[in-house]
Amino acid sequence: MASYVPHTDQDLARMLSDLGLADLDQLFASVPAALRLAGGLDLPPGRPEPDVAAEMARLAGRNRAAEELVCFAGGGAYDHDVPAVTRALAARSEFVTAYTPYQPEVAQGVLQALFEYQTLVSRLAGLPVANASLYDGATATVEAVNLATAATGRKAAWVSEGVNPRWREVLATLTAGNGTQLVEVPLRDGRTDWAALGPGPDGPPPGALVVASPNYLGCIDPLGPARAAADAAGALLIVAFDPVAAGLLRTPGEQGADVAVAEGQPLGTPLSFGGPYLGMFAVAQAHVRRLPGRLVGRGHDIEGRTAYVSTLRAREQDIRREKASSNICTNQTLVAIAAMVQLAWLGTAGLRELALRCARGTRYARESLLGLPSVRPLVSAPVVREFALELPRAPEVVVERMAEEGFLAGLPVSTEGREGLLVAVTEKRSRAEVDAYVQAMEKVLA
């Protein structure tokens, strides 16, 4: 019978003998004493499996799932419908159990699905090349900045405050290691105020300008000024876009983006307590060899049959090593396939209808809430499917009280020294639910 004990006393003795050491203390002599565990792990006694399962269920029960509340929260993760066809196809065993497709001859189905995903993301972004996905919108933004700074040879990026604040935190963390300097560009009434930079802030010139449209406050941020600022600074323009609002708005590529990134969760992935999600990434043709992650290409085998394979691998960290601008060599295959199925199921007309339903629901909810006493728009810039309100009570208190009424009311936000509540409306929210939400809000604010 196999043993699952990782190291027996005999294993340790043989290892130490081969290394010419007397004991484990000598093995770990290079580790400072203050960093070593003293006295062993303080673990409770083992418990029977049913007891452990019951305890885990009890702890899980402390969470309140989004399905238990009527969800009006957004800010990067949205309560969209996931149709049965998406769940059924994406959950096929061939996809769920798929191995990393390094052997294309046994992975044609997965590779073809990823190729189709790339094609659809390319069309959404309006750029010619898309990769096979990244981990989420935040890491896609980091990789975009890495690409831009490597392409320009500059270690600085100007980042709009309209970019999701969680993404900006991740960006600040991961760029700190390579010395990239970040300059935040403020918002004015919900739009990026590129003029606030004046002739240019102190420090090195930027290799990247990062802007979101629609931005974190739900506002459409014009990309013309961003493109002009990027041209003036000699930087690449990175645009974070909304894949659902893309059904109504011009693509980032049409508006001059060099790189487009997005969070793909709204396309076929439930909220799932925050993940796993999906990073969408598309670039102009000039930057294809700096594209991070996996790229699937289509060609022909020696018999002339269509064949799919990972391509341009020389750009990856596992080959180029110190010359690579990214160390990501993988992707979110299962979540990407779900997004591909969802987009294919919707089609162009379906995506437009989805975006219209969200926009119409947003307009109705916003106008209804602004009819309440002392409720005002936090900013006046045009919105698509998310909006921020200034309330007469602290947003955190409102969120707690609204949860008692059965609603996930939104997210507290702040801009230009003012606080508000960010409210999102998806196609799942009926007019009756919006009306009930407004009535509950009126009660909470009274």
Residue ranges per structural domain of the chain? 67-79+347-445, 84-341
Percent of the chain with pLDDT over 90: 80
The C-alpha atoms of residue 423 and residue 372 are separated, in whole angstroms, by 15
Q: Of 130-134, 205-209, 330-334, which range is least confident?
A: 330-334
Q: pLDDT band for 177, please (50, 70, 90 cuts).
A: confident
| Mean pLDDT, residues 73-97 taken together | 94
**Mean pLDDT (the chain, rounded):** 93
How sure is the predictor about 312, in pLDDT bands with cuts at 50, 70 and 90? confident
Which one is predicted more confidently, 159 or 104?
A: 159
Q: Does residue 70 sit in helix, strand or coil? A: strand
CA distance 259 to 277: 20
pLDDT for residue 314: 61
**Under 8 Å between Cβ of 259 and 286:** no
Q: Are the beta carbons of 165 and 75 closer than 8 angstroms?
A: no
Residue 1 has pLDDT above 90, yes or no: no
Q: Which CATH architecture has domain 67-79+347-445?
A: Alpha-Beta Complex (3.90)
Predicted pLDDT of residue 100: 78
Domain 84-341 has CATH 3.40.50.450: no
The answer to whether domain 67-79+347-445 and domain 84-341 are alike in fold is no
Angle at 221 between CA 257 and CA 126, to 5 degrees: 30
pLDDT bucket at 104, cuts 50 / 70 / 90: confident
Helix axis angle, 108-125 relative to 333-370, nearest 10°? 30
Span 259-279, pLDDT tens digits: 999 999 999 999 998 999 999
pLDDT above 50 (res 217) = yes
Confidence of residue 143 (pLDDT cuts 50, 70, 90): very high
N-to-C CA span, the chain: 69
| Class of residue 52 by CB neighbours under 10 A (exposed 0-12, middle 13-18, buried 19+) | exposed
Give CA–CA dist 145/443, Å, rounded.
45
Pairing, β 376-377 against β 386-390: antiparallel
* Percent of all residues in the chain with a pLDDT value above 70, rounded to a whole number: 96
* Residue 2: predicted pLDDT: 55
Predicted confidence (pLDDT) at residue 69 exceeds the cutoff of 90: yes
Please enumerate in sequence order all residues whose Cβ is within 8 A of that of 252, keeping only pairs 6 or more positions apart, or say none: 125, 126, 127, 213, 223, 239, 241, 260, 282
Q: What is the pLDDT of residue 368?
A: 98
Rounded to whole angstroms, the Cα distance separating 140 from 129 reads 15
Give residue 304's pLDDT: 92
Specify the pLDDT at position 102.
Answer: 79
Task: Indicate the pairing of strand 407-408 with strand 70-71.
Answer: parallel
pLDDT band for 103, please (50, 70, 90 cuts).
confident
* Confidence check: pLDDT of 320 > 80: no
